[in-house]
Structure 1
Amino acid sequence: MFQFITKRSFFVNLLIALLLGLAIVFIFFQLLDSITQHGKYAKVPSVKGKTVEDATKVLEAQGFRVEVQDSVYYDSLPKLSIVKQSPQPEELVKVNRTIYLTINRAEAPLVTLPNFVGQTYRSVQLQLNTLGLKLGDTTTRPDFAVGSVLEQLYKGVSVKPGAKIPMGSSISLVIGGGIKQTEVSVPLLLGLTFAEAKVLLESNDLLLGAVVVDGAIADSASAFVIKQNPPVRDDEGRPIRIRGGQLIDVWISTDRSKIDSIPKPKAVMEKKPETVNEY
């Protein structure tokens, strides 16, 4: 079978092999341009905003390959739509080039909420932007810590650090507004329910301080204020006045005997005019 090779000299066979090799290389390079479509370029069409399926059809029709490279999240854009493409639209690139796509996620990723309490408003605003969260309503409350965050709220409810919330959510802040210069009379909280006392304090720009629980209380809504500090009047019966933003401590209880025995504040005794005896 191999006699036609073995009958020839080694040098003849080597020459034939070299000629065959050169022929194969020549044919390869002749076909290379056709295989790689060398010299064929096309503009990259814009597929931003389209679905992955529609974008793939548009790009493949132009002779490009498609690969989803990454995903991000924007709550303002349609879910699973194209957010970014590389190369950019209108760039002139070779046909068969792979176009890498970035899509908008279908669900918002969860973000771990840090502790904003005690930080400045500006610092919290920068952190929210970095985390992909929005700044919600900002309200002020009288407090010594002027300009500092006193409370962080999510959907109107106070939320603790470490909570997981969806990216794009709004976080509302309560900011310290300082102590007001105007004075108000200490309101009478004795005999009110705990909820009523908190509303009355808020309406007077006063803050709830320490809450001392007297006895076992399953539900604070059923508890009543049996003591407060500062009281409404001093030992001489004169009204006590404090500045807005100051604290009032309360004692609460559900013991009916203690509620019924709440002492009434002393009133200032009016002096009777002295009578002058005329002779």
Structure 2
Amino acid sequence: MNLLQYLKSKEFLRTIILVIAISLLLLFALVKWLSYHTKHDEMITVPNLEKLSLAESYKILTESKLNYVVIDSASFNPKFPPKSVIEQNPLPGDFVKENRKIYLTLNPSNYRKVTIPNVLDQTKRQVVIQLKSLGFRIGKERYIKDLGRDVVRGLEINNKNIKPGDRLPKNTVIDLVLGDGLINKDTIY
């Protein structure tokens, strides 16, 4: 039997139909197996964990059959309780599969401490810029008799002197002790 006669024969037609049927059957079985194996339609809604402690978050996530990874945060947020969740990924309301990792960013227990630089004998403008750039807030200004006008002669917190090199939490309010330039307040120029 030559090739042309074989291609026209019923045996060839049956073989082609059998190959197509087996291929379709295998493809159908593969799709069903993948759907079962990947749990295609089984989704879990990510719970909102903001402002919850790590223990509370753990309880909720284990009940939802989800895992978590803690990412430490260096920036303290006073709007959230210490050591609570301030951020999560995936976001609340997103759909994920079972055993998916939820990445949690925790709020530190307080602002990190920053070293006070030596700002004595510098102008008020320089000191304010330098302290604000380090994350401190500037409070009251108190003037003392001194030759240098608006020259920083000391730093205080609640009327207590602080020295260069002291470590204070970020966002601390620092009062400035400034020189008055020996200006007599009663003299009119």
Q: TM-score, normalised by structure 1?
A: 0.46
Q: 2:114 aligns with which of 111, 117, 130?
A: 111
Cα deviation, 1:143-200, whole Å, max 9, x if unaligned, reads 443333221124433222112233443322113343424569xxxxxxxxxxxxxxxx
In the alignment, the residues of structure 2 paired with residue 134 and residue 177 of structure 1 have an alpha-carbon distance, to the nearest angstrom, of: 22
Q: 1:164 aligns with which of 153, 167, 176?
A: 167
The match for 1:70 is: 72
Which residue identity is paired with 1:164? Answer: R
The 8 Å contact of residues 145 and 181 in structure 2, kept in 1 or not, is answered as yes
Once the two structures are superposed, the pairs formed by residues 1-279 of structure 1 within 5 Å of their partners are 30-72=32-74, 73-75=76-78, 77-90=80-93, 92-96=94-98, 97-106=100-109, 108-182=111-185
Which structure 2 segments of 5+ residues have no match? 1-25
In the alignment, the residues of structure 1 paired with residue 41 and residue 62 of structure 2 have an alpha-carbon distance, to the nearest angstrom, of: 18
In the alignment, the residues of structure 1 paired with residue 33 and residue 124 of structure 2 have an alpha-carbon distance, to the nearest angstrom, of: 67
Q: TM-score, normalised by structure 2?
A: 0.63
Identical columns (%): 29
Number of positions where the alignment pairs a residue of Structure 1 with one of Structure 2? 160
Asked which structure has the greater RCO (Cα within 8 Å, sep 6+), the reply is 2
CA distance 1:65–1:157, change in 2 (3 Å):
same
The 8 Å contact of residues 135 and 171 in structure 2, kept in 1 or not, is answered as yes
The match for 2:11 is: none
In the alignment, the residues of structure 2 paired with residue 85 and residue 40 of structure 1 have an alpha-carbon distance, to the nearest angstrom, of: 22
In the alignment, the residues of structure 2 paired with residue 34 and residue 121 of structure 1 have an alpha-carbon distance, to the nearest angstrom, of: 70
CA-based RMSD of the aligned residues comes to: 3.5
The 8 Å contact of residues 39 and 94 in structure 1, kept in 2 or not, is answered as no
CA distance 1:146–1:133, change in 2 (3 Å):
same
The 8 Å contact of residues 117 and 150 in structure 1, kept in 2 or not, is answered as yes
Q: CA deviation at 1:120?
A: 4.4
SS of match in other structure, 1:147: strand
Cα deviation, 1:5-45, whole Å, max 9, x if unaligned, reads xxxxxxxxxxxxxxxxxx8xx97875444444335445433
SS of match in other structure, 2:55: helix
